[in-house]
Each structure stands twice: as C-alpha cells, then as structure tokens.
Structure 1
C-alpha cells in the first residue's frame, strides 16, 4: 500500500489541477480564433497549446506527487473541455462544431494519455521488479 500524500503533494496536485482547469478554459474559448483581414482563416493554435501542456501536467504529477495519480490533470482537462464546451456560460455552445473541436480533443488528450500510460507502465515495472 502506498504511503499517504504529504501536504506539499496535495498542494501540488491541487495546483496542477487548477492549471488544467485554466488551460482547458483558455483553449476552449480561443479555439474559434481566426486570422486574416476578414477573419477567413481558422487558426486553432490552442490545440497546439493543449498538445504541449496536458502531457506536461500529467508528467508533473507523476514526478512530483505519484504516478498513480497522474490521471487527475488529464481527467480534469477533459471534464472542463466537455462541460464548458457543451454547456458554456449561460447555456451557450462554446465548443465549435467542426474539425477544430476534434483537433483540440485529440491534440490535448492523446499525447497526455500516452504519457500517462508510459508513466504507469514504468511505475508498474519498477514496483513489480522488486517482487520477482
């Protein structure tokens, strides 16, 4: 059985989860960003932000808190994207209904899930090596 989390670990987990909330909000709200003189070219730069930041948050929790809890920032990010994107402030649909929404979800969740799986696999291999 794992040791209980220290106060610093709880604080780190809370802070990283709060970061996941803020990043998800910014990524959803700025997803419809367009460039050009008439706003004709969609520029989903927030999908790139999600592709970089969500795996980093998962890795941060795995290193500073515990690998078994590294799913928390990814779960928080996904829940916030769906809740705010689909029920938005005042019941508005904030998540755009085109390829940019799929790009944001894929670019944010897939790399983070790969980092999560790799970290959990390494943690399992290390803990299992001592029992063999």
Structure 2
C-alpha cells in the first residue's frame, strides 16, 4: 500500500487497461476505503484519519480534504470540542465510506463514531 489511489481505465475494444490518474493522499497514508459519488462526479478516499475528495474526471488537486484530528465539532452536544478520533482505539481497516443518494453528503465511519461531511458544489 502507498499514498495513492489509482483510477484505471479499461478499453473494452482493445482490451487495454491503463492508469488514468494517480490521486495522492499525502504523508504516506494508505487508502482504506474508496467510493464514487452516485453521479460519478467525485471520488472520495478515506485513510487512517483523513478524507480526501477529487473530481473524478479531472483528478489532480483534491476538491476537498478533511482531517479527523483537526476538525472541530459544531454539534451543541459536544460544546464545540474537537472530535476525538483516536486511531489506537479502533481497527485500522474499519473505515466505512458512503454517499447519500444525491451526492451532497458523505458519511465516514471511524470505530464507534461517524463523521458526516456536507459538500457544496
């Protein structure tokens, strides 16, 4: 595993397969979950404690990135404290990632916690 997500293109006529994009997660962090938005517009990858989202057609620079260690909760129940995402308390491979049906929200599971990311396009 490395710090990239590779998007492959398959030409069914010529039966050739080639890497269309290499999307970089950064800091040598492997992707633990990857998901396309329902409309195919975006691709999201979850790593150990980060979430990165790219335009699926362009690749390159991420459209958005979220760091679980740095994020502040705006949930009144948490009184604007940091969301505690302690990687040592959960399995490294436990990163469910799912879009809502219209591709405007993305849910990332982290052990017993869930982060809901609202996207504005």
TM-score normalised to the size of structure 2? 0.24
Q: Which protein has the bigger helix share? A: 1
TM-score normalised to the size of structure 1? 0.22
Q: 1 or 2 for the larger relative contact order (CA 8 Å, sep ≥6)?
A: 1
Please say which structure displays the higher CA radius of gyration. 1
Q: Which protein has the bigger strand share? A: 2
